[in-house]
Chain A
Amino acid sequence: DAKTTQPPSMDCAEGRAANLPCNHSTISGNEYVYWYRQIHSQGPQYIIHGLKNNETNEMASLIITEDRKSSTLILPHATLRDTAVYYCIVRVGGSQGNLIFGKGTKLSVKP
């Protein structure tokens, strides 16, 4: 079973920031937080990951709370092409095994 909890759906206005929350209250000290997204009828796409510190890349920012029990993925200027299902996953760093995808959050970016 997925070790994360996400809202099933969210809406965001085009051009505004999209903030997607994720709860992972049972996360272990050696587990990373990963975010992937899946646009309709395509394969999942890696977005970002982090352990303790906040992370930023060209796609998004990841904010992890100090107790690491929750995190937020931020898309700073959402576009219509960001409409997708966003998955938050926790897993041990360096592990070779599979990813366990939960149900994710369906983000709808509206004009």
Chain B
Amino acid sequence: DVKVTQSSRYLVKRTGEKVFLECVQDMDHENMFWYRQDPGLGLRLIYFSYDVKMKEKGDIPEGYSVSREKKERFSLILESASTNQTSMYLCASSNIAAVGGTQYFGPGTRLLVL
């Protein structure tokens, strides 16, 4: 089974802190994604990556950056956390060769910025 893990289930940070969210997948998938999920807004794509060292902006990249130095790891960085970045963050991966590119999600990280 595909396994996508995220470094933390819950995080509490202060405004202005630099925050790192880590995601690791064990299925050698090419594609990795970072979403945030907020009540009433559904899932929104922040960034995604097709391959190592490659990244593409999603729908809401402002205030975020990403890093993909190894195929299995995709990091989301909040350079200076703000209260409006309080959210559930979800990482996903997919195999480009699979029909439709089914995405497999991690358990999520619930971030609270005070």
Contact = CB atoms under 8 A, between A and B. Distances in A.
B90 A98 contact: no
Contacts of A96: 31, 48, 50, 94, 96, 101
A32 B43 contact: no
Contacts of B33: 98
Interface string B65-107: 0000000000000000000000000111010100111111111
* Majority-rule SS of A interface residues: loop
B42 A94 contact: no
Q: How large is the interface on A (under 10, 10 to 19, 20 to 34, 35 or more residues)?
A: 20 to 34
A46 B103 contact: yes
A76 interface: no
B100 A95 contact: yes
A21 interface: no
Contact of B102 (A42, A43, A46): A46
A103 B90 CA distance: 17
Contact of B99 (A32, A42, A101): A32
Given A93-B99, A93-B100, A95-B101, A43 B42 contact: no
Contact of A98 (B58, B91, B102, B105): B58
Contacts of B90: 43-44
Interface in A26-84: 32, 34, 41-46, 49
A18 to B, nearest CB: 22
B99 to A, nearest CB: 5
Interface string A82-109: 0000000001111111110111000000
B113 interface: no
Contact of A41 (B35, B58, B94, B108): B108
Contact of B100 (A2, A49, A103): A49
A41 B45 CA distance: 18
A43 B105 contact: yes
5 contacts: A2-B42, A43-B107, A45-B105, A46-B104, A94-B100
Q: Give the top 7 A-B pairs by smallest Cβ distance, nearest first.
A: A43-B105, A98-B45, A101-B43, A93-B100, A101-B42, A44-B105, A32-B100
